[in-house]
Amino acid sequence: MQMPRIHVRPAVLAACLLVASSVWPLAARGERDVSGESARSAPQWVRDAVVYEVFPRNFSEQGDLSGVTARLSHLKELGVTTVWLMPIHPIGEKFRKGRFGSPYAIRDYYAIHPDYGTTNDLKRLVQEAHRLGLKVILDLVANHTAWDNVLVQRHPEFYKRDAQGNIIPPVPEWSDVAGLDYSNPKLRDYMIGVMKHYVREFDVDGFRCDVAFMVPTDFWEQARAALDAVKPDLMLLAEASKPELLVRAFDLDYSWPLHATLNRVLLDGAPASEFRRTWEEMRRQFPKGALHLRFSDNHDEARAVARFGIRGALAAQVFMLTLDGVPLFYNGMEVGDATESGDPALFEKLPIFWQPKERPPLRTIYRDLLRLRQQYAPFRSERLIWLRNSDEANLVTFMRLDDRDEFVVVINFSNRPVIGWVEVMHSHEFRPVKIAGMPEVSMSGFPLFRLNGFEWRIYHRVVPR
């Protein structure tokens, strides 16, 4: 029996647009074919990153930057390397949605939301993160502003307008924001100035760029060149699935197509073999060496535990942690938090409940998986081999490897027990990896196995020298 369909929040349209863009042919989307080119070479710290998305309003009871700073050591102990702060700026009041409004409706790019604290609080957060060896990236919302943003009065020429000369939202459904017009070179200079400000004054390590596919690619390339002159090893993360963005501008993007497949498999009953098909299609479309953010949970959808159930959510995140690319954690998912599962999550205050009842030891499991990722280079490389198995409709099996170690990942994406096998050479030399918080697995039997619903295993072989 498949899990029931969960309603996905209609208030955030970006995810839907991005998924649609991934299935239309490049030419139909007005994009150039860059599959024969090479992706921009990302700094090593970006390639090795584990990103944690923080919604400051909900991350702590006080809902401010100090509340984030207080938990940085917990993120470090989990295995996080990079902290992404969702927008930290004052939120517009005109046409506001919900009681608190969307953090993506920004009133002043140069100001800190008064509920979050002061510029000194942000500086302390970044300094403490750096002391712990963590990087910090900010959310840059370059496509639109709140209707009462300071720019509406100071620079009305920065905005898109209809035939009657009225400022308009970027898409009709986003009624709480006004669209910016990147045909204006002064707007480009202004937005690059905002980015330089936070790099120079706060020493941030990069930006996650909201709906980057809706802003012209040549602007991002212009911004990248300007930022490289200030701090050349910055991370630029595109909320997009647009191949050309990774050639000269961005280090990595969202793997929206794979996330859409995750929903199709776990909610709509699509076969698990769709994961491989989606992954291979992305390899064909994107420039060589392209790096993608892998995620099962983020602020644009109901929480993974609400969509997939606790065991399904764990299986989904294990998949993202063992694939190629950069994994993402979102705001309390390491304890199975589901407080943001309803529609108003982005527009209300719903603090994380850090000690939920009747949850498996998710934090312990994720910590051990991240230690495995840190200890063994195959999990941080591009190399991945899909393996044939006995039940392609329900099982996902693949290998991560180098010349020293081979790991086989086996995940049951159905809620029913599966008895099966995986086709792999030297199978008798593989041993199950022990993950704290998970039951021990028999040392014998592989490549045969029995998995309960949403159960998963990792097997390790040391390559003889």
In DSSP notation, 398-417 reads: EEEE-SSEEEEEEEE-SSS-
* CA quadruple 141, 145, 149, 154: dihedral, nearest 10: 90
Does residue 6 lie in a domain region?
A: no
Last residue of a domain, which of 324, 352, 375? Answer: 375
Domain that holds residue 434: 385-462
Q: Is the pLDDT of residue 344 over 70?
A: no
Residue 427 maps to which CATH number? 2.60.40.1180
Contact residues for 375 (Cβ-Cβ < 8 A; gap 6+):
none
pLDDT, position 17:
46
Nearest Cα residue to 110 out of 81, 69, 151: 151
260 closest CA partner among 246, 281, 243, 238? 281
CB 448 within 8 A of CB 421: yes
With contact defined as beta carbons under 8 Å apart, do 416 and 405 qualify?
no
pLDDT tens column, 173-186: 999 999 999 999 99
Do 33 and 120 fall into the same domain? yes
Q: How many residues does the chain have?
A: 465
- Residues 328, 445, single domain; the answer is no
When pLDDT is cut at 50, 70 and 90, the band that residue 11 belongs to is: very low
Classify burial at 78, counting beta carbons within 10 Å of its beta carbon; exposed 0-12, middle 13-18, buried 19 or more. middle
Show the beta-strand stretches assigned E in 86-176. Answer: 135-140, 144-146
Instruction: Give pTM, 2 decimals.
Output: 0.94
**Mean pLDDT for the stretch of residues 77-89:** 98
Same domain, 343 and 440: no
Residue 9 lies in a domain: no
Separation between Cα atoms, residue 335 and residue 353, nearest integer Å? 8
In a domain, 7, yes or no: no
Predicted confidence at residue 442, as pLDDT, reads 86
**Whether residues 429 and 360 fall in one domain:** no
Residue 174 has a pLDDT of: 95
Domain boundary (319, 347, 375) is at: 375
pLDDT at 357: 80
The dihedral of CA 430, 434, 439, 443: what is its sign?
positive
Q: Which of 46-50, 96-100, 132-136 has the lowest mean pLDDT?
A: 96-100
| pLDDT per position as a tens digit, 271-327 | 999 999 999 999 999 999 999 999 999 999 889 999 999 999 999 999 999 999 999
Does the structure show a pLDDT above 70 at 25? no
Q: What is the C-alpha separation between 358 and 415, in angstroms, rounded?
A: 19
Task: Please check whether residue 1 lies inside any domain of the structure.
Answer: no
In this structure, the answer to whether residues 436 and 335 fall within a common structural domain is no
- Strands of 180-276 (E only): list them: 206-209, 235-238, 252-254
Residue 61 counted as domain residue: yes
**Domain contains 210:** yes
Q: How confident is the model at residue 3 (pLDDT cuts 50, 70, 90)?
A: very low
- The residue among 321, 350, 375 that closes a domain is 375
Gap between the Cα atoms of 392 and 386, Å rounded: 11
Interval 116-131 mean pLDDT:
98
Residue 441: both structure tokens together: 């697995």
Q: Do 371 and 389 belong together in one domain?
A: no
pLDDT tens column, 323-343: 999 999 999 999 998 776 554
360, 306: one domain:
yes
CA distance linking residue 440 with residue 326, whole number of Å:
28
User: Strand locations in 251-387, DSSP E?
Assistant: 252-254, 292-294, 326-330, 385-386
For residues 158 and 305, membership in a common domain is answered with: yes
Residue 4 belongs to some domain of the structure: no
- pLDDT, tens digit (0-9, with 9 covering 90-100), for 367-377: 999 999 999 99
8 Å CB contact between 200 and 192: no
Residue 251 and residue 301 in one domain: yes
The candidate with the shortest Cα–Cα distance to 237, out of 217, 256, 212, is 212
For residue 20, the surrounding DSSP H or E stretch is: helix 14-23
* CATH number of 182's domain: 3.20.20.80
159-187 b/e with 16+ CB inside 10 Å = b?
A: bbeeeeeebebbbeebebbbbbebeeeeb
Residue 340 has what pLDDT? 65
Most confident by average pLDDT, 29-43, 270-284, 338-352, 430-444? 270-284
To the nearest whole number, what is the mean pLDDT of the chain?
92
- Same-domain check for residues 448 and 331: no
Residue 5 covered by a domain: no
> In total, how many domains does the chain have?
2
Confidence band, pLDDT 50/70/90 cuts, at residue 237: very high
Residue 21's pLDDT band (boundaries 50, 70, 90)? Answer: very low
Say yes or no: 75 and 176 in one domain.
Answer: yes
Q: Are residues 291 and 410 in the same domain?
A: no
Residue type, 123: K
Percent of the chain with pLDDT over 90: 86
